[in-house]
Structure 1
Amino acid sequence: MRAAIACLLLLAGLQTRVLAADVNEWKSQIVYFLITDRFAQSPGTTPSGPCRPTNWNNGTWAGVTSKLDYLKDMGMTAIWITPIPVQVDSDFFGETAYHGYWAKDLSSTDVEPHFGTEQDLQNLLATARKKGIMTMLDVVANHMGHSSSKTYADMQPFNKPEHYHACLPGCDQWCSIPQHAYDSRPTNYTLIEQCRLQGLPDLNQSVPYVRDQLLSWLDRTLQKYDFDGLRVDTVKHVDVDFWRQWTKAAKRFTLGEVLNGDVNTMVKYVQGPNPPMNSVLNFPLHYALVNVFVHKQGMEQLATERANEYKLLGSEVVATMGNFIDNHDVPRFLTQQPDETLMRNALTWILLADGLPVIYYGTGSGMTGNVQLGGNRACLWEQGYNESNPTFQTISRLANFRLSHKLWKQPEQTLAATPNCYVYSRGPNVLVATTNGGSGSDNTCSVQLPHNSTLLDAGVSAVHDLLAMQAGHDSGLVWYPSARRLTIHMPDGSPRVLSSSPPDPASLEQSAAAQLTSSAPAHSAASAAAISGVLAALALFVAMLLL
């Protein structure tokens, strides 16, 4: 009997380690978020006309597959693609379901034909895996698409009114969430969770049939399509108890969307022994970055934001929070602030800081666009896939530096935070300095290096600057050894990335390629089969002992 108990504990331990390894694996990734309909058309396709912001534009999974080398050249190690289920096929309020968030059928694993075939999707997953690129699927369990039937007869398998939340007192005249419910620290989650999001039919997960069907769809989808992680839409609009079941059933890393600028609001979604989400997109940091680099507010607020994140969420969660400057729900950076130097500073900040960097498609091409009418969701093929674009080059260099130096293994420490300067270190020999002065500005930052820092051990002349690609004796560094104080000159508002190891482009490329190969997705069919085989054998052994 003792042997049987020991084996059962071993089984539980194996299952725990498989999931834990998966979460840890995501710490080392750099994610590229793309809207399938807008990223790339299938090879050989001729665009039928200008990009239509609110309509289908024929971006496909085959198109994504054809551009994986472009993403590798940018330094991306993972892609997040928009939802795959069959979508509603009618226009609603002048917009189609091109984005994938208006599902019509979750009764099967059928995929939206606008994006391609099941085989096209399988080819994308297989090709990405061969290239060492992990895959993240966007999933929606809060709502279905707009229905043309008052009884939801056209929705599957949720084709009855009782599958949805009723229109509560307190919802607005369209049964949607009232504006006042979107406080920075909500107190009435009933309205947020049960009123409709922009009029979309709101699923009632407290109904056993609804809950079971959603979990069944998730299980069948992940059995069929071997995604490595999930980005979970509209998390704050569903009760956390359902998300606990969802994340447990997923057996993959879950990154939740909690669209709120207050880190206190994030706590309930990531804490506890069985957390609703493994991590969340870092909207609080996003808004702080916008304040600092777009509106040029004091950079001290970044230090406050980071301190709150570590205090309230813990370092394990912060290490996988999705850090971003652009996405499909916010205006693009360059629309708010056209100074590309400021964007370079913001990109430097998120790509080298603790957390999971997320780059939105088009940022590397200098895309602009506002939220209204899909303005921030333009067709990338109209802009082109120009790898010589300065922003593309900046992202690539920073991403490869992160990979080659394995920065996710190094602690982040704030060294200076002033109105115009923010400096942090990643371990003993990497220092990142950013400024919000903008192009044409001339800034100087002064920092005291920690005693464990080895950055200046060989003197200023041995320090290398990643973005300037030059040794320290040319780069405006002044070192005061007795005080361990370093003065950093930041000409023309440029960020500085200093290290004691040379940022040679060739070595960066080689080490990045090695990292991509070593970080091959853990959820391959072969891996899953091997794990299942071990567990099955142990289970059989336990059963024999118990006889």
Structure 2
Amino acid sequence: MRWVLAVSLAACVSSQMPVQPDAAGGDAPGDAAPEGVLDWRGRSIYFVVTDRFANGDCTNDDAGGFVTDLANPRAWHGGDFQGLIDRLDYIAGMGFTGIWITPVIAQHHAHAYHGYWGYDWSRIDPHLGDAAKLRELVAKAHAKNIAVMIDTVANHTGRYNFTTPTFPDAAMYHHNGNITDYNNPAQVENNALSGLDDLAQENPAVRAKLLEHIDWLARESRADGFRVDTVKHVPKPFWTEWRAAAKLFSMGEVLSGGVEQVAPYSHVLDATLDYPLYYAMQSAFAKGGSMRQLGNVFAKDAQYADVQLGGTFLDNHDQPRFLCDATVADKQARLRIALAFQFTARGLPILYYGTEQGFGSCSDNRQDMLSVADTNAPLYQWIAKLNRIRASTEALRTGVQRERWQDDTAYAFEREVGTSAAVVAINSSNNVRILPLQNLHVPAGTVLTDALGSGATFVVDAELNLAVRVPAHGVVILTNTP
């Protein structure tokens, strides 16, 4: 496949000056604080593992003595902030209004390319650039109406033998061994995750440093929000203080398939990644399971503080690529309807980088995209179309969602806000389905048009009913958008 070959061809062309080492006290402070909390409602988000995405500056490839080695899937591969800047038009071309980037603080390990093993929490990792380059990325993203969300960690450092420049004292960590029982809340919050040095947030010095750090990162980067890693591994009361210090939108990762376990964290942060819906979509679309699972998740939406702010996704850096994980016969068709569902249902749709290029490696779900950016790729074009429909239809961004049909092979819902309305129907079966939707909230006589371009129109009858014909392995998106 083309993207596999592209890895060996990856190179960067840079006009940038070499990245200078940070001063002993960390990066120079930014000259302005964040202007306020940006409303992420209605946005769609493109998620990037920065080191794997685009190498815009070759001079930082071997920063800190941790060299770039494309032949080693666990090593640094050279992606950086300049590479992201260079590809902002590529991201904007798909219609995304937000990006989420992996953690930016300094690491200290040959395999810490992902950014989740924080070492010096007062510095930006020089492999990626410096604070000024990060601010440039944010500013140039803003110029294209793209908000920036930075990943951050407060649960752990790396495997650094319980000492780092930011947390130098062994008393700043828990020493309880690895988690062995994920059903034991005390272990989940106070034991180590996969051997990573577990920070003791109950220690006043640790808590103060974490709060100081997130305030610094918000001001230094001028970003618009934070994706927060391993949230359930830290006691909930800490997150109340952390959120007050961050002063920006926050979306937490709670890796659980149960709404009852995930939703409570949306009341201490602003939102959560929607893992319960991920597992339902994975089963329904990738595995050929019952579409009723989607309705089962939506039925519990009231448990979230604001379900419109939850992050929905089909795969990510911690889960298998959809095209690898799928066991159905026509994986590409299933991916297309899964994306259509994701980009029209409630919440903030998050696309994992490379999905638009058909990435589906089963051996490396964080493969390089360093030399691949084909805007003519079929999935790139499909995602761009879905984002255009979403952008032109307020109901699909912020509207109330109501279920109108569910069975094992079909699911349909309507969304409305103000005068904007949409009806979406999905068919996962091998046959054409005609779904008799009833009791719509859309007014009688409303004309709905197929937003995917067939030109077909549908009229809501006097009894507020609507019969929708959905192709096999297909989707229908109806809107009243002029």
Give the TM interval when normalised to the shorter protein: 0.7 to 0.9
Q: Secondary structure at the match of 2:127?
A: helix
Query: Which residue of 300, 303, 306 corresponds with 2:298?
Result: 306
Q: Secondary structure at the match of 2:432?
A: strand
- 1:47-58, aligned counterparts within 5 Å? 50=70, 52-58=72-78
Instruction: In structure 2, give the amino acid aligned to 1:385.
Output: A
Report deviation, 1:83. Answer: 0.6
Report the equivalent of 1:514: none
User: Deviation digits for residues 57-79 of structure 1, max 9, x if unmatched?
Assistant: 00010000000011111010011
Report the equivalent of 2:22: none
The normalised TM-score by structure 1 is 0.76
Report deviation, 1:483. Answer: 5.2
Report the equivalent of 1:103: 118
Report deviation, 1:266. Answer: 1.7
Report deviation, 1:480. Answer: 8.6
Report the equivalent of 1:424: 413
Report deviation, 1:431. Answer: 0.9
Larger Rg: 1
Report the equivalent of 2:469: 489
Instruction: In structure 2, give the amino acid aligned to 1:77.
Output: T
Q: Secondary structure at the match of 1:381?
A: coil
1:420/1:436 contact within 8 Å kept = yes
CA distance in 2, matches of 1:293, 1:119: 42
- 1:508-519, aligned counterparts within 5 Å? none
1:429/1:455 contact within 8 Å kept = no
Q: Secondary structure at the match of 1:193?
A: helix
Query: Across the two proteins, how many residue pairs are aligned to each other?
Result: 435
In structure 2, the CA distance between the partners of 1:219 and 1:146, relative to structure 1 (3 Å rule), is same
The normalised TM-score by structure 2 is 0.85
Instruction: In structure 2, give the amino acid aligned to 1:140.
Output: V
Confirm whether residue 409 of structure 1 aligns to residue 409 of structure 2: no
2:440/2:465 contact within 8 Å kept = no
CA distance in 1, matches of 2:477, 2:170: 57
Instruction: In structure 1, give the amino acid aligned to 2:243.
Output: T
Instruction: In structure 2, give the amino acid aligned to 1:328.
Output: H
Instruction: In structure 2, give the amino acid aligned to 1:56.
Output: W
Report deviation, 1:482. Answer: 5.9
Q: Which moved more, 1:399-408 or 1:205-214?
A: 399-408
Confirm whether residue 498 of structure 1 aligns to residue 482 of structure 2: no
Report the equivalent of 1:135: 148
Confirm whether residue 32 of structure 1 aligns to residue 16 of structure 2: no
Report deviation, 1:195. Answer: 1.0
CA distance in 2, matches of 1:103, 1:49: 21
CA distance in 1, matches of 2:426, 2:218: 41
Q: Secondary structure at the match of 2:370?
A: helix
Query: Which residue of 283, 295, 310 corresponds with 1:291?
Result: 283
In structure 2, the CA distance between the partners of 1:159 and 1:393, relative to structure 1 (3 Å rule), is same
Confirm whether residue 392 of structure 1 aligns to residue 384 of structure 2: no
CA distance in 2, matches of 1:344, 1:265: 30
Report the equivalent of 1:507: none
In structure 2, the CA distance between the partners of 1:164 and 1:335, relative to structure 1 (3 Å rule), is same
Report deviation, 1:117. Answer: 2.5
In structure 2, the CA distance between the partners of 1:212 and 1:286, relative to structure 1 (3 Å rule), is same
Report the equivalent of 2:101: 81
Report the equivalent of 2:337: 345
Q: Secondary structure at the match of 1:26?
A: coil
CA distance in 1, matches of 2:193, 2:431: 46
Question: Which structure 1 segments of 5+ residues have no match?
Answer: 1-17, 168-174, 503-547
Report deviation, 1:411. Answer: 1.1
4+ residue runs of structure 1 moved beyond 6 angstroms? Answer: none
Report deviation, 1:105. Answer: 1.0
Report deviation, 1:376. Answer: 0.5
1:454/1:500 contact within 8 Å kept = no
Question: Which structure 2 segments of 5+ residues have no match?
Answer: 1-34, 62-67
Instruction: In structure 1, give the amino acid aligned to 2:450.
Output: D
Report deviation, 1:454. Answer: 4.4
CA distance in 2, matches of 1:65, 1:51: 25
User: Deviation digits for residues 182-239 of structure 1, max 9, x if unmatched?
Assistant: 3xxx3x2110011111000000000000100111111122221101000000000001
Query: Which residue of 76, 84, 108 corresponds with 1:64?
Result: 84
Instruction: In structure 1, give the amino acid aligned to 2:413.
Output: Y
Q: Secondary structure at the match of 2:238?
A: helix
- 1:148-547, aligned counterparts within 5 Å? 149=161, 152-153=162-163, 155-167=164-176, 175-178=177-180, 181-182=181-182, 186=183, 188-271=184-267, 275=268, 277-310=269-302, 312-314=303-305, 317-337=306-326, 339-370=331-362, 375-382=364-371, 384-406=372-394, 407-427=396-416, 429-437=421-429, 441-454=430-443, 457-458=446-447, 463-467=448-452, 469-472=453-456, 481=461, 484-501=464-481
2:58/2:78 contact within 8 Å kept = no
Report deviation, 1:51. Answer: 5.7
Report deviation, 1:309. Answer: 2.1
Instruction: In structure 2, give the amino acid aligned to 1:99.
Output: H
CA distance in 1, matches of 2:88, 2:373: 11
Higher helix share: 1
2:445/2:460 contact within 8 Å kept = no
Instruction: In structure 1, give the amino acid aligned to 2:112.
Output: A
Cα RMSD for the two superposed structures: 2.2
CA distance in 2, matches of 1:235, 1:480: 45
* Identity, % of aligned positions: 33
